[in-house]
Amino acid sequence: MAVNAFDGLLTWLAPEREQAGVIYEQMRARLIRFFESYGCPFADDCADDTIQRVTRKIGEGEMIRAADPYAYFRGVARNVLSEQWRRQEKLAGTIDDLPPAYEPAVRPLELEARAEQRREREQRLACIEACLDGLPPESRRLFIDYHNDEPHGAHRARLASDLGLDITALRNRITRLRKKIESCATTCMQSRQ
């Protein structure tokens, strides 16, 4: 907004500069109330846009012959409001309506689902740990040793030999312990829901 255009606006509002400044502030406040009365979420911005449009017209030399300046401002404000509503209608869609390039990088529902999965895994691990703690110490130690990260073949054969068992008997024992732990963990998870 050029300075001379703004001076032209003030001159149009009132012959004295101080009085024009007061009328300008009152006009802006009335425009804000106008936009707020229609539920406009950006009432201040729309009021400023309205004033800038009127100022631009005066700066372009247009002669405004309105008996009441507010009536003219209100007419321009209606156009601004109409444009604002059209913009909001364009923006008012769901995330699902967006083309793939405009979709958010992180979808809130996916984040929520991941968080729920993480909570469930943490609960399951807590239940498994509690079930392991409920086993007799030698059974717990055997189960953990059996699932050690070492290469399975040699490690498990050595474990079976240390216990005086053949590998099939060791697998059967571990299978029974696993079923006991799974049953315990399932009961634990159901009790936490």
Percentage above 90 pLDDT, the chain:
29
pLDDT at residue 134, as a whole number: 92
Q: Which of 28, 32, 30 is nearest to 43 (CA)?
A: 32
In one-letter notation, the amino acid at residue 20 is A
Q: Which of 113, 37, 104, 32 is nearest to 73 (CA)?
A: 32
pLDDT at residue 61, as a whole number: 81
In angstroms and rounded to an integer, the radius of gyration of the C-alpha atoms of the chain is 38
Six token digits for residue 86: 């059209």
Can you say how many angstroms the Cα of residue 55 is from the centroid of all Cα atoms in its chain?
39
pLDDT at residue 49, as a whole number: 92
User: In the predicted model, is pLDDT for residue 172 greater than 90?
Assistant: yes
User: In the predicted model, is pLDDT for residue 1 greater than 50?
Assistant: no
* Cα distances (angstroms) measured from residue 33 to each of 27, 37, 55, 75: 10, 6, 20, 14
CA distance 30 to 70: 8
Helix H segments across the chain? 3-13, 17-37, 43-59, 69-91, 108-133, 137-146, 152-163, 167-191
Contact 177, 120 (CB under 8 A): no
CA distance 106 to 103: 8
CA distance 3 to 10: 11
pTM (global) more than 0.75: no
- pLDDT tens digits, one per residue of 84-128: 888 777 666 655 665 665 555 667 788 888 889 999 999 998 999
